[in-house]
Structure 1
């Protein structure tokens, strides 16, 4: 490895981390197989956890594209020397997208028998609230007037069009932003940076209007009778905080391995401010979505929260706010706290686990009858953690340099001080 003053430094993905990531993938495969082989409720738990983790995977990778885009759009200089990390997320987004599409496909087209109101019927493992046969057919014994009213949107064709178009667009912009940065290293000049600025502005415009639709379709439609116009922004905040926390964790990991020694406490401080600020924003949207059900006098929406206040979920409902609001509030509020590596590391680990719990509370009440933390939850989490680690660090190792050598603001980043 080159010295820390070299702009030719490359990351080599070897050793214990690579081994552990592969072990995690194997554990995940075993957990998935266990869930399907065991049958009964285990199958439903397996599908629900696959949806949870594939959605989380996509969100973190999309957060990498989002981070790159708003840094370019803001013409920020401080982040130039660490931009390769979120660019690695962007390079993995197409893989994450394919996995999510595969999970929802199997969940939509595989059915099982349930007893509803004293009668047996066949429903899909995922999206049964709108994809069950006969829900929109007048005269059918399964006819549901509320779902029929949403039929133009709650159809398999619209669902797949939304997934493919939006994930394809996010993946394209991630690829284009990364390619421009890599080309900049060989070509120099301002052409690629100007191109990145334009791409970032276009992406942010598209992303701002479409990510709520993505969250509505993939997660909110699991309980299709309920809706909230704030749900998309709630998911956007969770996606962003999770992505920032993992960017910070990879920064810390690389520095402990001797890489990216040009980064210092001021870079960590800047990431910490973003994590702190958007954790507060997440809390604001969480509270507003919860509070406005009463304030706006819409008791019909309380069914969503009522279900999450049942004994199986109520404890975790409040743990969610402790992990995702109180932890960053108490641990990162002061200036000095954001400059202590171990404190930042543990706060980020809490947030990664906290937003897993956040997605768990979004998904499980609408898909499983008896919640729990068993083989499927733990094993599938470890599997996707291993897959994410392996794919992102592999993508990072394929950059010819860990630093964008000819970024116009590179010197500003290397001398970042706050």
Structure 2
């Protein structure tokens, strides 16, 4: 069977053609137009006092909604990017052979990370008071009528070693360290992969395996803490002990869906001929399995809070379920991220056919964006949120920019790790 290997073009590069570029940039342009229209409508209708804004003691401004949208998309697309690197590292740490031809696709998602890091840090400095209640200094002043003992108790987690209510050194340091290390590991993987392509041999595979193990340990800690920092701290009074897992699961399903869509897209364009329906089936199983895992975590978090019925825990769900704006989206979230993928991908055939996977993966990418929308907006905007032109436009702008960065990076290097020691095993992968 060894002659199989010669039948494949292992030096293939993705051609990011003018027509594909045009499609991506068209989506970007449409998204930008919708976003601008949404902002104009919000500016002309915004600035008025509303029920949700009164509680916060200020008039609601259009830019607060813009900031909330920036934050949702920053966190969401950062997650998809880091999951690409994470899933790549898993393949090496687990010595997986089946996935050899598609590892470069996983790694390509990480090209968004440097951009994501800059966007996150800039957005935080511009929008912190509008997004995070804990950034207001009066909450930590015992003489102030606004003093909040619960937030004061958590203050050191954000501000150490500075005085609470001044500059959140510890918080910013964590953000910089996480992005710094994620980008460092991503570049390390890219460098080892490039060397493997040029030099061959097994040493690079062993090296990648060691670096993957270091990365996975760092990722385990950083992904959880970033979920607390970037999402859970919006609702400062509330906390959930499995929130880090929950955000990871949402990111993971979105990341797997992106990798699967990219693989099917490239196969449709005539690349990756060594990837057969067995490989696609494996990706389908991952998407299917982890959408159930996400649901399990959603339900665990909800059920424990529901039956314990402790006010400081239930506030999170009460705020969302009893809201005219967000109540319906809780059900949209569950239907898009669990019910439909579960029913569509249940059979073996569905996991092997591109058309089913395209539909489900596209649905899941939008569905998990809705999940992050539900995590961020109620705590930042109260009754002034919802999904409108601004939300749709911003999602399209981020999605198209992300696609452009990933496809550009795929066009630059080898699409297939031609000297991967398990390539031969992958050709004969059958399930």
TM-score where L is the length of structure 1: 0.92
Q: Which SS does the other structure have where 1:411 is aligned?
A: helix
Whether the aligned pair in 1 keeps the contact of 2:39 and 2:390 (CA below 8 Å) is: no
Q: Which SS does the other structure have where 1:312 is aligned?
A: coil
Q: Distance in 1 between matches of 2:102 and 2:188?
A: 18
2:297 matched residue in structure 1: 285
Whether the aligned pair in 2 keeps the contact of 1:85 and 1:247 (CA below 8 Å) is: yes
Picking from 240, 244, 266, the partner of 2:278 is 266
Are 1:376 and 2:396 matched, yes or no? no
Are 1:7 and 2:10 matched, yes or no? yes
- Give 1:27 deviation, angstroms: 4.1
TM-score where L is the length of structure 2: 0.89
Between 76-85 and 36-45, the greater mean CA deviation after superposition: 36-45
Whether the aligned pair in 2 keeps the contact of 1:32 and 1:46 (CA below 8 Å) is: no
Q: Distance in 2 between matches of 1:350 and 1:221?
A: 28
Between 368-377 and 158-167, the greater mean CA deviation after superposition: 368-377
Q: Distance in 1 between matches of 2:186 and 2:426?
A: 22
Q: Distance in 2 between matches of 1:220 and 1:299?
A: 17
1:126 matched residue in structure 2: 131
2:19 matched residue in structure 1: 16
Whether the aligned pair in 1 keeps the contact of 2:36 and 2:390 (CA below 8 Å) is: no
1:214-253 maps to which residues of 2 (within 5 A)? Answer: 214-253=226-265
Are 1:177 and 2:189 matched, yes or no? yes
1:312 matched residue in structure 2: 325
Picking from 267, 288, 293, the partner of 1:276 is 288
2:70 matched residue in structure 1: 50
Are 1:138 and 2:142 matched, yes or no? yes
2:409 matched residue in structure 1: 395
Q: Which SS does the other structure have where 1:135 is aligned?
A: helix
Q: Distance in 2 between matches of 1:292 and 1:353?
A: 27
- Give 1:414 deviation, angstroms: 2.1
Q: Which SS does the other structure have where 2:79 is aligned?
A: helix
1:117 matched residue in structure 2: none
Q: Distance in 1 between matches of 2:125 and 2:37?
A: 20
Whether the aligned pair in 1 keeps the contact of 2:223 and 2:244 (CA below 8 Å) is: yes
Whether the aligned pair in 1 keeps the contact of 2:72 and 2:372 (CA below 8 Å) is: yes
2:154 matched residue in structure 1: 150
Whether the aligned pair in 2 keeps the contact of 1:44 and 1:125 (CA below 8 Å) is: yes
Flag the 1:327–1:272 CA change in 2: closer, same or farther, 3 A.
Answer: same
Q: Point out where structure 1 has 5 or more consecutive residues left out of the alignment.
A: 109-123
- Give 1:297 deviation, angstroms: 4.9
Between 252-261 and 343-352, the greater mean CA deviation after superposition: 252-261
1:193 matched residue in structure 2: 205
Picking from 61, 83, 90, the partner of 1:70 is 90
Q: Distance in 1 between matches of 2:120 and 2:17?
A: 28
How many matched pairs?
Answer: 399
Picking from 101, 122, 130, the partner of 2:121 is 101
Bigger fraction of residues in helix: 2
Whether the aligned pair in 2 keeps the contact of 1:92 and 1:395 (CA below 8 Å) is: no
Q: Point out where structure 2 has 5 or more consecutive residues left out of the alignment.
A: 1-5, 48-60, 160-167
Q: Distance in 2 between matches of 1:279 and 1:372?
A: 24
Q: Distance in 1 between matches of 2:189 and 2:173?
A: 24
